[in-house]
Amino acid sequence: MGGRQSSVAEERPRSNSVDTAQVSARHRPNVMTAAELMQTMRNARILSSSSDSNGSEDDAGPSAIHGARQIRGMNIRAGRIHSQHSRRSVPVFMMDMKCPVCHKVVPSDDADIHLVMCLTRPKITYNDDVLKEDKGECSICLEDLLAGNCIARLPCLCIYHKQCIDDWFKRKNCCPEHPGDD
């Protein structure tokens, strides 16, 4: 029993730091590591900076620094993904990766393309409006959307109280009723 407990503790990174994620990844060589994620990001950054600047080294400099900052951010989040998945009894990570940006599970073969798409995708925005007539129930708070209420119109044409959708967007940038559209 004691032996089992210690192995569980070993697999669970205690913090989100890069080192912890890499150490625990060493136990499972097929797992996508934070380092691989970093390399993916670096490749993507190099590609985009060279095409933006037509290969000029002067221009590539600052964007490379910017890229490094992004990579550090990704590393931290990569550690967190790893810790979430190590709770499961099967290393699903061998086949899938949970995107740190949109939280979708994607096959690791597509992970690099998916990450780049996710990081460059524009955020969903909405138009503010003041309702001129009652419009039924807000599906976030279940209160009525009344004439005079300040509302948000999303690209999918869904409407919510502005305050309600602002609260949700702090957690996830997608329509509560059309999460696949993000």
Partner 1 sequence: MAGALPRRIIKETQRLLADPVPGISANPDESNARYFHVMIAGPDESPFAGGVFKLELFLPEEYPMAAPKVRFMTKIYHPNIDKLGRICLDILKDKWSPALQIRTVLLSIQALLSAPNPEDPLATDVAEQWKTNEAEAIKTAKQWTLAYAQA
The structure tokens listed for 105 are: 């599970």
Q: How far, in Å, CA of 182 to CA of 178, rounded?
A: 8
4 interacts with partner 1 by CB under 8 A? no
Q: Convert residues 55-74 into a mask of x (bound to partner 1 by CB under 8 A) and - (unbound).
A: --------------------
- Is 90 near partner 1 (CB under 8 A)? yes
Q: Could you tell me how many residues of this chain bind partner 1 (CB under 8 A)?
A: 21
159: nearest Cα among 172, 175, 179, 148: 175
Q: How far is CA 178 from the centre of its chain?
A: 17
**Of 50-58, 68-76, 87-95, 121-129: span binding partner 1 (CB under 8 A):** 87-95
Q: Which residues pair with 98 in a beta bridge?
A: 105
Q: Is 146 in the site for partner 1 (CB under 8 A)?
A: no
- Judged by CB under 8 A, the stretch of 40-48, 49-57, 112-120, 136-144 that binds partner 1 is 136-144
Segment lying near partner 1 (by CB under 8 A), choices 17-25, 28-36, 102-110, 147-155: 102-110
Nearest to 125 by CA among 163, 175, 90: 175
Q: Would you count residue 106 as binding partner 1 (CB under 8 A)? A: no
From candidates 5, 6, 89, 120, binder to partner 1 by CB under 8 A: 89
CA distances from 10 to 6, 15, 28, 81, 86 (A): 6, 12, 12, 16, 10
Residue 71 vs 138, nearer CB to partner 1 = 138
List, as own/partner pairs, every contact residues 97-100 make where C-beta atoms lie below 8 angstroms and the sequence separation is at least 24, other chains included: 97/32, 100/74
Q: Using CA atoms, how far apart are residues 140 and 165, in angstroms rounded to an integer?
A: 8
For position 139 contacting partner 1 by CB under 8 A, the verdict is: yes
| Site residues, partner 1 (CB under 8 A) | 88-90, 98, 103-105, 139-143, 164, 167-168, 170-171, 174, 176-177, 179
